[in-house]
Amino acid sequence: MNGAQVVVEALKREGVKYIFGYPGGACMPIFDALLDAPELELVLVRHEQGGTHMADGYARATGKPGVVLVTSGPGATNTVTGLLTAQMDSIPLIVLTGQTITPNLGKDAFQEADIFGVTMPVVKHSYLVKDANDLPKVMKEAFHLATTGRPGPVLIDLPKDVVSAECTANFPENTDLPGYEVPMKGNADDIVRAADIIMESRRPLLYVGAGAVGSGASKEVLKLAEKLQAPVTTTLLGKGAFPETHELSVGMLGMHGTAYANKAVVGCDMIMAIGARWDDRITGKVSEFCPTASKIHIDIDPAEFGKIIQPDVSINGDARLVLQELIPHVHKLDSGPWLKSVASWKKKYPLKYPKRGGLRAQYVLDELDRLSESRGIISTDVGQHQMWAAQFCKSSRERQWLSSGGAGTMGYGFPAAIGAQLGCPNDLVVAVVGDGGFQMTLAELSTAALQRVPIKILIIDNRYLGMIRQWQELFFDQRLSGCDLEGNPDFVKLGEAYGVKGFRIRRAGDVTKVLKKALAYNDGPCIIHAEVVKEDNVFPMIPAGAAVKDMLIEKPKDRKLEKPVGST
């Protein structure tokens, strides 16, 4: 076999079904080899960034690595945003990039880019292959690295002469990576110490992140919470690791988390992070985050220990396996009074929105959740609609919530939904996007239409970059700059140009009727254009850099807010 055939054979051996790709001269030998591999389905995307987000959505929804194939130069650099998105959120991707022939490396050849160097900060690992006989080993290692330990994207740069050359090396059965060790069960002494701290608690809180989703630890989290009778809060990306319909759930915490989740953070005497990294959207002002509470941190990546919060006990291991070891060491806590306090906060500070004054995005999302019975896979862009969706669209199982957390990538939600639907063809998949983010990757309407994926594209259109406008209103004296999206297209007509069915929602009275029609439509993708009120704000809100205790339940009426420390 030549190198291109080896790459294709390796993909088959790894059980790959879909390749999200866009061709070019440098990767043409691989595209040619795909013609002889009917087991691999090429999804021809319309932009390389869209392809990486599709592979990312596929990976998040299925737990399997997503695969991308693009050409050199701009084709490769167009994947950088997708790589950053996957790296920040620990998503397993394999990105194959074509490259100029090896004699031309470093000589500014046509469509040459040092993609190895460009992407080094945004991948878990990367390869530049210069010998065809290295390909079987590199491909095996790449999948192992992407999917084990803390998952992440791996890039393989493939010069055209290498994939055209003959390969005589065998395919390895196993990998040999000296120095790369994957922690599993955790240290027994640390687990006992953690159990002792837990048993001393009367106001416990389990804080669950994306690591619990990645490890498949939802059953263990549920068992631990019910055994302890401890409330559970999740991060934005931890949604689904614990059913939000459960009585012990307090929903999402952090900047736009529920008021009762953040009240629980302030009031707890023990907080245990399970596959979560104490990021700035959670902690707010670090010096005032749970200052008197004991802290336990379970994570597969030891680099996260002490990076932001110094825990009392750190347990390095797979969340699912660590919890299996921990659960026998604990029993029910005396948390009755604590649970009553949490219940009172839920009653006093429910998620709410105005019922009058125009069509509200919150109502559309609340009704979507009700009609779908909280069973759909929700994929979002970034902004106000993302936070409203996180608040009102409940996740009852893991891998049901897809969103760009760490990178905050606009344009992610729609292509990610395409990948998710291909990976989960029998599930309801809804892309909840803003009018700003959707326009960044809307060319993939062509991909969605050709693949006939029955995704629902719910566009929350307020003709603004809504979160930017909210911050400028609250913190910059309403001095609006660069946030007005005047010139938005008619999204229904735009969809029709691609052969995509369109629905409109302009009045609150039409929401239920239109959503029912859209949810019943399965002959390909459809657009649901919700023209919501222009100026609405997401609350609760913890201003960036403020302490959790300084959470705003609603817009303050009698005081000017200080400019926040940090970004939106």
Burial of 358 (0-12, 13-18, 19+ CB in 10 A): middle
Q: How wide is the angle at C-alpha 236 spanned by C-alphas 368 and 62, nearest 5°?
A: 75
Whether 111 is a known active-site residue: answer: yes
Tokens of 219: 């059953």
Give the C-alpha separation, 280 to 252, whole Å.
Answer: 14
Distances (CA, A) of 487 to 225, 444, 464, 484, 491: 49, 20, 11, 9, 11
Sheet holding 232-234, edge to edge: 249-252, 232-234, 204-208, 270-274, 294-299, 313-316
| DSSP element (H, E) containing 34 | helix 28-34
Whether 1 is a known active-site residue: answer: no
- Annotated active-site residue in 124, 137, 140, 160: 160
Whether 110 is a known active-site residue: answer: yes
The residue among 471, 480, 479 whose CA lies nearest residue 561 is 471
Give the C-alpha separation, 126 to 197, whole Å.
Answer: 41
Sheet holding 456-461, edge to edge: 401-402, 377-380, 429-434, 456-461, 526-531, 501-505
DSSP collapsed to 3 states, 285-350: CHHHCCCCCEEEEEECCHHHCCCCCCCCEEEECCHHHHHHHHHHHCCCCCCHHHHHHHHHHHHHCC
DSSP 552: B
Which amino acid appears at position 293 of this protein?
A: A
Tokens of 325: 């070891």
- Annotated active-site residue in 17, 28, 111, 475: 111
Sheet holding 93-99, edge to edge: 41-44, 18-21, 66-70, 93-99, 153-159, 125-128
- Annotated active-site residue in 39, 110, 120, 219: 110
Give the largest Cα separation in the chain, rounded: 75
| DSSP element (H, E) containing 99 | strand 93-99
- The torsion region of residue 119 among left (phi > 0), alpha (psi -120 to 50) and beta comes to alpha
- Annotated active-site residue in 255, 272, 467, 541: 467
Tokens of 92: 């397993």
Whether residue 244 contacts residue 392, with contact meaning beta carbons closer than 8 Å, is answered with no
φ and ψ of 262, to 5 deg:
-70, -30
The residue among 229, 228, 414, 246 whose CA lies nearest residue 330 is 228
- Annotated active-site residue in 48, 141, 367, 531: 48
Catalytic residues: 48, 110-111, 160, 467
